[in-house]
Amino acid sequence: MATRVGLLGKKVGMAQLFSGNGETIPVTVIEAGPCYVTQIKTADRDDYNAVQLGFGETKRLNKAEKGHLKDLPPLRHLHELRTDDVERYQLGQKLDVSLFNVGEKVDVIGTSKGKGFAGVVKRHGFRGGPKTHGQSDRHRAPGAIGSTTSPGRVLKGLRMAGHMGARRTTSQNLEVVLVDPERNLLAVKGAVPGARNGLVFVRKARKSQIR
């Protein structure tokens, strides 16, 4: 497992920045960190190497959480990050956006906006049925779902109507446009999952963009 770097943060919203040649760049502003190392796991003791990061202070913690976060701020969100170089971390260590550099690629993980119950046209992009030849009520219907099998049955995983959104989603290979350690702000090019003030996890990109 390679070295992995990441931060928990909060989606602030979208904005525009201007490059040196006047080009408009749509960006998403993220309040990334500061995060604290709340636990270190090693292969000898826990069978794998990882660090646990905490973000966002809160006033409501139960006794177990207070014991776990002893001598640390009362943190609301915890996230575990697997990495091989756990020796570079210390319990209580503070991490901020200086981990990232302008121009590098990152992945942003968040929970997409919930859309409620949606049909196949909105949820999966189906074309729908014909608008003529007697099809008066099939414009946005999925069509046959039996797959012409004998005996007919509905296969597992078939794309159908259902709950849309509110799922873990990853936007990959987003370019870092701005790093502001003083205000704990990170601006990435493009959109990231979730609504304003939603919790996100920013990590260095797992895949490199090939152009």
pLDDT at residue 196 in the model: 93
- Cβ neighbors of 189 (< 8 A, separation 6 or more) are 25, 26, 27, 174, 175, 176, 177
Residue 163 C-alpha from the chain's centroid: 19
pTM for the structure as a whole = 0.83
Which residues of the chain register pLDDT less than 70? 1-3, 208-211
- Reply yes or no on domain 34-95 having CATH 3.30.160.810: yes
Beta strands (DSSP E) in 42-149 are: 50-57, 75-82, 94-95, 105-111, 116-118
Indicate the domain borders of the chain: 18-31+100-114+165-211, 34-95, 119-161
pLDDT digits (tens, 9 = 90+) for 15-61: 999 988 888 999 999 999 799 999 999 888 989 989 999 998 888 88
Superfamily of domain 18-31+100-114+165-211: Translation factors (2.40.30.10)
pLDDT at residue 170 in the model: 94
Say whether 172 sits in a helix, a strand or coil: strand
Query: Is the bond preceding residue 26 a cis peptide, omega within 30 degrees?
Result: no
Does 18-31+100-114+165-211 match 34-95 in CATH topology?
no
Check if the beta carbon of residue 14 is closer than 8 Å to that of residue 191.
yes
pLDDT at residue 210 in the model: 52
pLDDT at residue 105 in the model: 93
Check if the beta carbon of residue 184 is closer than 8 Å to that of residue 34.
yes
What is the phi-psi region of residue 148: left when phi exceeds 0, alpha when psi lies from -120 to 50, beta otherwise?
A: left
